[in-house]
Amino acid sequence: MQIAVSTLAWIGFCVFILIMLAVDLGVLNRRPHEITYKDAAIWSAVWVALALIFAGLLAGPLGWEMFGEARHQKTLEFLTGYLIELSLSVDNLFVFVLIFNYFKVPSKYQHRVLFWGVLGALVLRVLMIVAGTELIERFHWIIYIFGAFLIYTGIKMFSTQNTDIDPENRFVVKSVTRYVPIVRHYERRKFFTVVDGKTVGTLLLLVLIVVEFTDLVFALDSIPAIFAVTDHPFIVYTSNVFAILGLRALYFLLANVMDKFQYLKLGLAAVLSFVGVKMVLVDVYKMPVGLSLGIIASILAISIIASLWKSKNSAGELKTTE
């Protein structure tokens, strides 16, 4: 009975995601247009609300059918995983802004790139989650490698605060342009066009590939991080999906104010380091999920408040100077 319920939950969740994506692309964004701040704020709130409603279902009827008495524990795992994935996804936004600025992507086409980028990310995350789950089940010691990798990444983020990007010199761009003919201009919202009777990729296709590759690189951090919280595939995947689907709206909400969050990267580095230490010490001390959630939320809150305080003071000093 529990297996049947679990299967139905997977199917139901996948159907829900497909419906939301169809509504997004086929109804709300059928024609290319610039996403307004108001639209981005509404959709960001919608995705956060949907994640919280899903958490409520896990704590209630769905969780009871799937996990029984352990439903509250699984709900906490989902919320913690969602917060980790959402916060680490914000780091993607800094790079997306640089990519779009570098390639001068028109604002009205950015949503299309992010939509198909998210769609590809959902498929890649499934493969990585399945692989990660299988590895941990077969080789428990690999969790120490995941933890050490996260600590290393966190320390690296602490020491490299400035993000410089030159996509033209990246391996992925050189590889794609070597084997796939790409015209260096945009053909409205098209990914492909025809030149001299041959189908070639547009600059928008190249941007999509760079965004997709960037997300894959970031997934190498975020996927191991969530295994510090739970190893249940359904919880891992759903928390990832909600974070990814809310990423596009969050991008348009924060794209113009990224410079105000000066300490957020430090906060993300601290989160990664904390999660890495938690994984390394998992067989020595298994930290309660509720405590992990509180620590991660506190780190992020402090970094955001400190960033806003710094930004406000800098603006005040600038006015005083003028």
38-79 residue pLDDT tens: 888 888 899 999 999 999 999 998 898 888 889 999 999 999
* Cα–Cα distance for residue pair 207/104, rounded to 1 Å: 10
* pLDDT score for 317: 56
* pLDDT score for 282: 86
Which alpha helices (DSSP H) does the chain contain, by range?
2-23, 37-59, 61-67, 71-102, 107-138, 142-159, 171-179, 203-226, 233-245, 247-254, 264-280, 289-321
For the chain, the maximum distance between any two Cα atoms, rounded to a whole number of angstroms, is 71
- The residue among 272, 25, 2 whose CA lies nearest residue 154 is 272
| Tokens of residue 300, six digits | 């992020």
* pLDDT score for 140: 85
* pLDDT score for 72: 93
Residue keyed to tokens 């759903």: 238
- Give the residues across from 193 on adjacent strands: 200
| Tokens of residue 322, six digits | 């003028």
* Cα–Cα distance for residue pair 94/90, rounded to 1 Å: 7
| Tokens of residue 304, six digits | 């955001």
For the chain, which ranges sit under pLDDT 50?
1, 318
* pLDDT score for 168: 62
| Tokens of residue 23, six digits | 């509504």
- Give the residues across from 136 on adjacent strands: none
- Give the residues across from 199 on adjacent strands: 194
- Count of C-beta atoms within a 10 Å radius of residue 263: 19
* pLDDT score for 217: 78
3-state DSSP call for residue 132?
Answer: helix
Give the relative orientation of helices 247-254 and 233-245 as an angle to the nearest 10 degrees. 30
Domain residue limits, the chain: 2-321
* pLDDT score for 161: 57
* Cα–Cα distance for residue pair 55/50, rounded to 1 Å: 9
Q: Residue 77 carries which side chain, given as an amino acid letter?
A: E
Give the predicted TM-score (pTM) of the model.
0.84
- The residue among 316, 264, 271, 259 whose CA lies nearest residue 295 is 271
| Tokens of residue 279, six digits | 């994984």
* Cα–Cα distance for residue pair 300/114, rounded to 1 Å: 25
Contact 103, 203 (CB under 8 A): yes
DSSP string, 102-115: HTT--HHHHHHHHH
